[in-house]
Structure 1
Amino acid sequence: MTKCAFIPNIFRFYNILWDAALPFLKQHPRLAPTFDRRINPVHLQPADIWIQAASAGEAYLAVSIIKALNPDRPVTMLLTTTTDQGMKILTQELLPEEFSHHIRLCFDIFPFDSPKAMNNAVQRVNPAVMVLLETELWPAHLYALKRNHTSVLIINGRLSRKSGRNYRLTKAFWQSFAPERILAISAKDAQRFSQVFPHTCIGTMDNIKFDRMTVQKTPGKVSALAAIVPRELPLSVFASFRRQEEPQILDMVKTLLEEVPNQVIALFPRHMHRIAPFLKKLNKTGLNVYQGSQISSVLTGPAIILWDRFGDLHQAYSHADVVFVGGSLAPLGGQNFMEPAALGIPTITGPHWQDFAWVGKEIFRTGAVTRCNNWQHAVKTMCSHLVNSGSRKTRIDAVSRYISQKQGGAQTAADAILTSWEAKQPGAVAGRKKSRRSSGDTLPLTY
């Protein structure tokens, strides 16, 4: 670890900030039940490998990795998460019969990044290997791990252009406790990481999210939306659009109805609090709009439905004839267009899909997903699919082949973790802490 005289002073100040923030955090309704465990992690158990899965998305990645691990000797693993949802996923998805009998799992809440708390946590766990998923960079955590001579791996790493720029501004600080290895999900992500951590071993891997993807060759159970849409009418779905896109969505809806009037259009805003404001905008245009919760029987003809119930979008996809996925008309990063595509539904996204660049632009060559330059191009493509829908089976087969070619990330991650752990094996387990630390190589810790 690079020795920088200013690092201890920075952490003294960092600790002061945490001390000032803790009384407020204690009052937070989501944090209050686990506050004591987060600030005083005396309950943490020793583990060979520690995996941090921040929230739900990372928890699913951790599950895939655990199931791919097959160590040839007993290993204790600590899995931590920051949210209740993440903990629920870890404990419910990881059933003992589904992973190697050599693995012993412990679950717990991730401590606050207060230097005092994190130093205590790392000393208690004393991991040989620390696995961080995607972009989980906490300075006190990394500092304590480096002082403990723990090997730090970033798996399924991703770093947005904005985040990369921010990290580069404090590059000297982060280099003081850089991870040993980073496996990024794309060449662009790897390049951004290399600009922050130039001396770290950085490579690429297939995104573990592909390992969890499957195609659905037959429609699922009838959704609440499908139950009210007349079978003889096509269904167009506008999914997960955001406030910034609402004017363009209105233009798309009006144009779509002019071109193909005999259809049902279902609108699914990304955030439920936009239902009422967007309904007002729709009414001002003179469009006749139903709210989903107010419909109790099958519609008698064409209609526009503003869906105001949470959690029904995925089921609605399987009954759609065409889907436009929002978050992509404005520079918002995009939303998950692979969900409807994997169902064989013609899927359209706008020009902004940076958050899903890991899927790869080759997906647009399969014919299952179309990337459009603007709302006019998007609505024209939707009309084309409504007039000539093509073969759903052909799209499903194309997406299935694409996904299968991209799978294997979980095994790549598992192999990298075991390699790092095995490199720490020489010496008795009882002497691990001593073998990872050498006299004169420990930075001061004074707060």
Structure 2
Amino acid sequence: MIVVSNCGLYERMSFTSSQGSDSPADAGQAITLRILSSLKNVSREAWDQVANPGWKLSGRGLLTPEDDCKSLKDLSGALAKEFEPTSEETSFNPFLSYDFLEALESSGCATNATGWMPRHMLLQDENETVLGAVPAYLKSHSQGEYVFDHGWADAFYRAGGDYYPKLQISVPFTPATGRRFLTGPGVNREAGLQALAAGLVQVCQKTGASSVHATFLSKGEWDTLGDLGYLRRTDQQFHWENHGYENFDGFLADLASRKRKAIKKERKEALSADGIEVEWVTGSDLTEAHWDAFYEFYLDTGSRKWGRPYLNRDFFSLINERLAERTLLVLAKRHDRYIAGALNFIGSETLFGRHWGCTEHHPFLHFELCYYQAIDFAIAKGLKRVEAGAQGAHKLARGYLPATTYSAHWIAHEGLHDAVADFLEHERRAVERENEALAGHAPFKNRDAT
């Protein structure tokens, strides 16, 4: 049984185990679940060690692999396992980094005032060594999540229930797949996930929250949470996969003739207006002037899509200070003035497309900056894929194939739980059918698009 108590700026939930090596701890080993009201209450090193094990960030986001994971393999025996990391444990995800998540808090984008109350969870041993973590927020609304539950909230409200607050497990404003239950490679993954998932339910019950929502999970996390009683949900995005292409023409050679010609035409027309040039700006070349230009584009898109943008100017300055080496701005310039731009973040294997905007509208310029230039960059840097953000079936014709995204939901109220479970069963089948149908219309000629 987990016992919850208040401890100043955070709360602690402690338990001991005597159930053997597959339990949350060795016999007699105390494991603590600590709830943080801010990432400032944990060290950058401790967070990143479980968020992106095997990687080190320095300077303005310079990424280097750590050759020695001994510190993770030798973590006091608690939650220990033989060192067998999976691909999801070894790839670097910029959104899970301390620098990114803490920038959302320090800039005022993800705070109590914006309805994102940080309630991050740490899994610690008796020596307060961090074994695992979860980025978590107690929320008073459903904005900025990209997994839509407004209908659930409305239905529960009409039935006399309070859907908010709810506990959200995610990277705010970021529809990008990645681990949400963070454990180091020397920690028993399943046992750590189970401990964290159980702790979230306890936090939910203690705070009076209606539910737990873990979004854009890895497939493995989704499977395990389903086994633990969470409701499983799927949705769809479009991702481009790099099949060892040497250049963009190599990618085009994989396409059917008609699709290949269409893309060539779009790229030509996108840059046909007098004086349009495209720049890649990253690392030490990024300046506040670049961010000023991009923020103008972001404000235009954000005001049209959401009424008001989620991210403020301070956030982008913090990203420039901390993660410039993990950031790519693709900018279009005309007559020495920036007119459009796309923001991307660079992982160890994936280029993540995030935001786009413009002050001049030119045919196909959106496709050029967001999709084709992203492919060019991924090929040049040897990245395995491009994730181009939420939604957008128009991406299919540009070589981005349907990919399933995963979320899991724990709902306290039995009636709402049962209604949502029935809805999700039908929704999962619909998503599967749509993915299969779209894959059948993929533009590739020489391989199975699925």
Q: TM-score, normalising length from structure 1?
A: 0.30
Query: Which protein is richer in helix relative to its size?
Result: 1
TM-score, normalised to structure 2's length?
0.30
Structure (1 or 2) with the larger CA radius of gyration: 1
By percentage of residues, which structure has more strand? 2
